[in-house]
Structure 1
Amino acid sequence: MKKNINLLMVSVLLLMAGCSEFIEPSIENRSIDILAPANKLETNSYQQTFWWNPMADALFYRLQIVSPKFDSVSKMVLDTLIKTEKFVYTMDPGKYEWRVRGENGSSASNYSTRSLEIFPSSLKEQSVQLTVPSSGLYFSKPDVRYEWLKLFGAKVYRLQVDNNNFLDENNMTLNITTDNLGFLQTLSKEGTYQFRVRAENSVENSKWSTVRSLIYDVTGPERVLLNTPSNKQAVSRPVRLTWSRLADAERYEISVYQSDEQTPYSKSYPLIVTSTEHVFDAGNVGETVAWRVRAFDKAGNAGAYSEIRTFTIQ
């Protein structure tokens, strides 16, 4: 009896130890350590970087900005969840309070609160904040939507798009003004493009935004070349299927079929992988299996299928 009780206690302790790996630590009594902006900052910069030290066990952060204060809110400016410890945002002149807390799936920390006052300033001292698209994105469709945040004092916004780094402003892909906070462009040819935005009014212009780039690509990768096993080879399980790497391929789709070369071998196929090999460990002795591979690039374009090869399990 005593032996059984001891075994039960050991089992319970092991179970508790195993469960502890899945228990999310509480962050309820912690507070965020804010780095910037400084508390009670007075500035004429409309674009502010909200920055704090990371909090252990926090999966994301809730940032809120109101005007003028949380105990007398006249305007909710921002309420967002972010995963990083830094957030850039452009605001109008005015008095603000802002706060941030850490959150995870089961708890939230205390808010840390700061105040901020932004004074009106010349438009030429400011810059437009781009929102979409992010820099370096690949597009396989020609329609691209550009968006940015409102900048106080602007009457219109000038959007420039180029594929030559703005070396010749008289010969750009796009150079337009709009009073909207976005513009939809249809690209006509593949390539790498740069884009930027500035605010304008009747007397002055803002600084240009940061320059972002995008890649328009509608051409799929080349045909994949299969390596091993050779066609109709007799092989033992597990079977290592390999192919040559393509320079512009981001991932590969491998399809494995039954002997009719059309029916997927199982629900596992087709399978997406990033390597240039796949281990097939199924089937019976004497069974014939077929396979082929195609590549996808960063824009999501699919290349042509490789040849279909078969192998027989021995």
Structure 2
Amino acid sequence: MIIRKNISQVLLGLVLLSTGCTEFIEPSIEKKNVTLLAPSNGTESAVYAQTFWWEEVDNALQYRLQVATPDFNNPARLILDTIITKSRFSYTLDPGNYQWRVRAENGSSQTPYGKAAFIIQPSSIEDQQVQLQSPANNLITNQSSSVFKWLALFGADKYQLQIDTSNFEDETILFFNKSTPNQEFNVTLTKDKVYRWRVKAMNATVESKWSVIQSVTLDKTPPGVVFLTSPTNEQVVSKNVTLKWEALAEAKKYQLYVFKSDGSSVYSSTFPIILTAATYSFTEGKSGEKLFWQVRAIDEAGNFGAFSEQRSFLIQ
């Protein structure tokens, strides 16, 4: 009987290992290869803003992208060395000879690098487009002061930054319209609105195309007050009480406090806790303890709403 039982346990272990090993063991990707798509090896282009693109690798968590000039065997300069989670990345380069490479990585292994060489030919900035860097497109922020940044464009002496709240319908009444020799400008946004921005490069004779238009939203208005639903105030509850409140449409997260019987000392180092759901299972506490709790909402811009009422409950 003991032998049969041991054999059954071994067989069960083998079945679990064969059917669910990916849940416990991260697969190795060291024998896989990264297939580069663009720019392909030997490409020559007059476009300074290049989009590096490759096929995704199964079980990869991230990719290391590097660009060197003229190549990695005899590098004069490492232009780019970055970790990203997607399989595309855009970057603006000067004319010259380059080699780029990508490897896939996860927590325990990595692939060999896939490599390709390409050439950027000189061209007029009239044919080029400035690449915007930050703020990230569609950012929602509660910070009035924003630094607008973009990548340098070869052949440019200065840049024109325009910001508008009406999608550039009338360039005579823009919110912001200034030139600078730098690749950034600090601008103070004044009202809760959606601001759209764009940049073009210039030199003494010509101008580039306008960049793509990106947006940033200023939102300094806090969300509303959370209404607590259960337990009701001073309710007697069993241990492991579920705290609930009404979800707010403008809330992305909630901050929950649970206090000791004095109503002001946090119950434990767990609190305050940030939650995405409008409920929390409180498993701490002792029989006979009277505890207090309250919640406030946090919106996407990071604004904190006012606290809800403070309620108490008694653990029976």
Q: With structure 1 as the length reference, what TM-score do the two structures score?
A: 0.90
The partner residue of 2:100 within 98, 111, 119 is 98
| Equivalent-residue separation in structure 2 for 1:104 and 1:233 (angstroms) | 49
Q: Which residue of 1 aligns with 2:133?
A: 131
| Equivalent-residue separation in structure 1 for 2:22 and 2:169 (angstroms) | 59
Output aligned runs, 1:1-314, within 5 Å.
3=3, 6=6, 10=10, 17=17, 21-314=23-316
Pairs aligned (count): 314
Indicate the RMSD between aligned Cα atoms, in angstroms.
2.6
The change in CA–CA distance for 1:11 and 1:263 in structure 2 (over 3 A counts) is farther
Report SS of the residue matched to 2:172: coil
Residues 50-95 of structure 1, C-alpha deviations (whole Å, 9 max, x = no match)? 1111112322212221222222322222122221111111111112
Q: CA deviation at 1:103?
A: 2.1
For the 8 Å contact 2:252–2:300, the answer to whether it is kept is: yes
Given residue 169 of structure 2, which amino acid in structure 1 is its aligned partner?
Answer: L
| Equivalent-residue separation in structure 1 for 2:168 and 2:3 (angstroms) | 81
| Equivalent-residue separation in structure 2 for 1:19 and 1:52 (angstroms) | 28
Q: With structure 2 as the length reference, what TM-score do the two structures score?
A: 0.90
Report SS of the residue matched to 1:222: coil
Name structure 1 gaps, 5 residues minimum. Answer: none
Residues 121-154 of structure 1, C-alpha deviations (whole Å, 9 max, x = no match)? 2212110001111012122222101111111111
The change in CA–CA distance for 1:244 and 1:105 in structure 2 (over 3 A counts) is closer
Q: CA deviation at 1:282?
A: 3.7
After the TM superposition, which of the residue ranges 138-147 and 230-239 deviates more from structure 2?
230-239
For the 8 Å contact 2:239–2:287, the answer to whether it is kept is: no
Q: CA deviation at 1:13?
A: 5.7
Residues 276-310 of structure 1, C-alpha deviations (whole Å, 9 max, x = no match)? 12222343444322111111111111111111111
Q: CA deviation at 1:11?
A: 11
Residues 234-291 of structure 1, C-alpha deviations (whole Å, 9 max, x = no match)? 3334423222222211111111112221122222222211111222234344432211
Report SS of the residue matched to 1:69: coil
Report SS of the residue matched to 1:268: coil
Q: CA deviation at 1:233?
A: 2.4
Report SS of the residue matched to 2:75: strand
For the 8 Å contact 2:239–2:286, the answer to whether it is kept is: no
The change in CA–CA distance for 1:31 and 1:225 in structure 2 (over 3 A counts) is same
| Equivalent-residue separation in structure 2 for 1:258 and 1:58 (angstroms) | 46
Kindly, what percent of the aligned residue pairs are identical?
45
The change in CA–CA distance for 1:112 and 1:282 in structure 2 (over 3 A counts) is closer
The change in CA–CA distance for 1:21 and 1:224 in structure 2 (over 3 A counts) is closer
Given residue 207 of structure 2, which amino acid in structure 1 is its aligned partner?
Answer: N
The change in CA–CA distance for 1:6 and 1:310 in structure 2 (over 3 A counts) is closer
Residues 151-179 of structure 1, C-alpha deviations (whole Å, 9 max, x = no match)? 11111011111112111211112111111
Report SS of the residue matched to 2:126: helix
Residues 195-234 of structure 1, C-alpha deviations (whole Å, 9 max, x = no match)? 1111111222111111111111222111111122222223
Q: CA deviation at 1:10?
A: 3.8
Residues 87-128 of structure 1, C-alpha deviations (whole Å, 9 max, x = no match)? 111111112121211122333222221111111222121100
After the TM superposition, which of the residue ranges 58-67 and 24-33 deviates more from structure 2?
24-33
For the 8 Å contact 2:135–2:147, the answer to whether it is kept is: yes
| Equivalent-residue separation in structure 2 for 1:289 and 1:186 (angstroms) | 44
